[in-house]
Structure 1
Amino acid sequence: MPGKVGPAELTRHVFERTGSGDDRVRQGPALGEDAAAIDVPAGTLVVSADPISLAASEVGRLGVVVACNDVAAAGADPRWLTVVCLLPTDDEDALETVTADLDAAAREHGVTIVGGHTEYVDALERPILSVTAMGFADRFVPTGGATPGDRIVLAGPAGLEGTAILASDFAEAYSVPDDTVESALSFFDELSVAPAAEILRESASAMHDPTEGGVAAGLVELARASSVDVDVDREVIPIRAETAALCRAAGVDPLRIFGSGALLATVPPAAVDGRLDALAAAGIDAAEIGVVTDNGDGAVDLDGERLTAVPTDDLYPLWEAADA
């Protein structure tokens, strides 16, 4: 039935599945508690929320990663989450699947679920989560901090998330080898940018993780937030073979599909080589892909293609065609 999840189910499925635990949480999930209390020292608390809707077996894992990525990209260490979990009324297994997935992902990423809301909704065909992540930053790094002369670094290949979605949702429609599809599906496990952010944040003037619309959209968002223009060399952007193969088969641009798993950063020239060396030592594919040229209106020159508006993600027409 629709409405709030009952006390017995909350006790069984939610309250004991709160990730790695944290002594600073004064009030965590409990019956009747609508807010979490966290004892914190003075500092910068970074908070970000993201919705996500996928199959029950994947939504928790990706919801945690996507929310934590935004906090990490601001220079913080993700530590706490709240989760609003809306479930289809007719899926008896969804609560067990989603909460187990959330708990496992939270433990993997060292974060603690401190509260939220869980409810059944008649109109839903698949779960919807809204995940809020919080963490402290010693040095907050905005999206809008880039200045002329900064170099643009991309840590992580372009289009990882979009590649995994192509493999999971559309592979049967294309002539792509099975081993390529299987490898691409594993990209769902590589979407955290927290390790890259930890390396880049000490030097970066701006950081931003490209999500919907991919690297192309992320570049425009960063440039517009910083009121600068940027010049980017497409040829040096890291793109995996699986991404190239699936995008070619689907007729989409690797730079315009969901981009979680990559992190954009602008870095002063003197710091670039040291940050790239540190990323390489950590096993993270990275490259200097461009330069902040001037103060401006947020234009991106991508090998002669001038982008002034945030591109629409190339995967949306594929979903629309599939539903038609």
Structure 2
Amino acid sequence: MLGKLDPDDLARVLSRTGARDDSVLMGPKYGEDAAAMRLDDGSVLVANSDPLSLAKERLGTLAVHVACNDVAACGADPRWLTNVLFLPDDDEATLDALTTQMDEEARELGVAIVGGHSEYAPALERPMVAMTALGLADKYVPTGGAEPGDRLLLTKGAGVEGTAVLATDFRDDLDLPADVLERAEGFFGDISVVPDARVLREWATAMHDPTEGGLVTGLVELASASGVRLAVDRSAVPVREETAAICEAMGVDPLRVFGSGALLAAVPDDEADDALAALDDEGIEANEIGVVEEETDDPGVELDGDLVTEAVRDDLYDLWE
């Protein structure tokens, strides 16, 4: 079975946290993007690890951005990366492609790859990259900080990452104009939310990087971590033309496919307009998609009247299996 652990198995993992350390501001917790530790100088070190194995054509590209995005979503500037690379065989072309992609994306972000590990693992069917990103923040922004009355903002749109992956990994299955597929593949250039987070961290009470399970799971995770109910209008969620066309052709929901490239933020009601204007000044697309409602013991997201309280399985997994 592909995908994240079920809630019970994940709860067991999250309950085992090792030795107590009073410098830890945020340890393992459902929905949180990264860990946060207070350093002696008062700054905050943010750290995240993420594995990838399925997007075969741009695995190295995504590995860098998925890890760095989680750090940025916590209000930090990503600075260092380590990578663990497993290859199913000694295919030099694959090794060169992956490491070149990682190098190029890290340079573009100004992030240093400082170490890691590489080995052959013949039991694997495809390459796997596990990337750890670290960065520093003046103020840590959690996933679980949303408060009743906050407005929910989303940058770029739903399914940006999923669109790019579909346009490459499933190109032969798509009977769409070549220019649509070319534009969709170009979405790999929109995967980073580092610029988005640098703007929104000035206002946000909570930020989250939707990945597996898309925007729907991202909303559920933010609601769960914050202990709130969210109300979201699907018609307000931006979905790019290429995303709509490709997702329709493949029979998947744009809101339930890999969502890297979008940043979800809860912003106080009286500051949301300023945040949207600041994003616009930086040329970053953004929309208001809903509101944070009351605190509750049964957190979740009301999406056009339907209440979702648990993470959804990403629609792309059925295509890979």
- The answer to whether TM tops 0.5 is yes
Q: 1:116 & 1:59 partners in 2: Cα distance?
A: 16
Q: Secondary structure at the match of 1:93?
A: helix
Partners of 1:207 and 1:263 within 8 A in 2: yes
The verdict on how the C-alpha distance between 1:172 and 1:96 changes in structure 2, with shifts beyond 3 A counting, is: closer
Partners of 2:208 and 2:265 within 8 A in 1: yes
Identity %: 57
Give CA deviations for 1:33-52 in whole Å, capped at 9, x if unaligned. Answer: xxxxxx99541000000001
Q: Secondary structure at the match of 1:132?
A: strand
Could you tell me which residue of structure 2 aligns to residue 310 of structure 1? 311
Q: 2:114 & 2:313 partners in 1: Cα distance?
A: 34
Q: Secondary structure at the match of 1:238?
A: coil
Could you tell me which residue of structure 2 aligns to residue 130 of structure 1? 130
The verdict on how the C-alpha distance between 1:220 and 1:121 changes in structure 2, with shifts beyond 3 A counting, is: same
Code of the residue aligned with 2:301 in structure 1: it is V
Give CA deviations for 1:205-231 in whole Å, capped at 9, x if unaligned. Answer: 000010011111100000000000010
Q: 2:55 & 2:161 partners in 1: Cα distance?
A: 15
Partners of 2:220 and 2:310 within 8 A in 1: yes
Q: Secondary structure at the match of 1:158?
A: coil
Return the offset for 1:126: 2.6
Q: Secondary structure at the match of 1:187?
A: helix
Partners of 2:210 and 2:218 within 8 A in 1: yes
The verdict on how the C-alpha distance between 1:262 and 1:55 changes in structure 2, with shifts beyond 3 A counting, is: closer
Return the offset for 1:97: 2.5
Could you tell me which residue of structure 2 aligns to residue 208 of structure 1? 208
Code of the residue aligned with 1:302 in structure 2: it is L
Partners of 2:57 and 2:169 within 8 A in 1: no
Q: 2:284 & 2:45 partners in 1: Cα distance?
A: 27
Code of the residue aligned with 2:300 in structure 1: it is A
Return the offset for 1:175: 2.6
Q: Secondary structure at the match of 2:92?
A: coil
Return the offset for 1:57: 5.1
Could you tell me which residue of structure 2 aligns to residue 7 of structure 1? none
Could you tell me which residue of structure 1 aligns to residue 242 of structure 2? 242
Could you tell me which residue of structure 2 aligns to residue 221 of structure 1? 221
Give CA deviations for 1:44-85 in whole Å, capped at 9, x if unaligned. Answer: 000000001146652221110110000000000000011111
**Greater mean alpha carbon deviation, residues 112-121 or residues 173-182:** 173-182
Partners of 1:55 and 1:127 within 8 A in 2: no
Return the offset for 1:287: 0.7
Partners of 2:57 and 2:168 within 8 A in 1: no
Could you tell me which residue of structure 1 aligns to residue 8 of structure 2? none
Partners of 2:192 and 2:261 within 8 A in 1: yes
| Residue 142 (structure 2) pairs with residue 142 (structure 1) | yes
Give CA deviations for 1:274-308 in whole Å, capped at 9, x if unaligned. Answer: 11011111111111111111001222111112111
Q: 2:192 & 2:258 partners in 1: Cα distance?
A: 13
Give the CA RMSD over aligned residues. Answer: 1.6
**Greater mean alpha carbon deviation, residues 41-50 or residues 253-262:** 41-50
| Residue 92 (structure 2) pairs with residue 92 (structure 1) | yes
Aligned length: 282
The verdict on how the C-alpha distance between 1:112 and 1:41 changes in structure 2, with shifts beyond 3 A counting, is: farther
Q: 1:83 & 1:76 partners in 2: Cα distance?
A: 19
Q: 1:120 & 1:59 partners in 2: Cα distance?
A: 17
Code of the residue aligned with 1:301 in structure 2: it is E
Give TM-score, length-normalised by structure 1.
Answer: 0.84
Could you tell me which residue of structure 1 aligns to residue 230 of structure 2? 230
Q: 2:174 & 2:115 partners in 1: Cα distance?
A: 42
Could you tell me which residue of structure 1 aligns to residue 63 of structure 2? 63
Could you tell me which residue of structure 2 aligns to residue 34 of structure 1? none
Partners of 2:213 and 2:257 within 8 A in 1: yes
Code of the residue aligned with 1:209 in structure 2: it is D
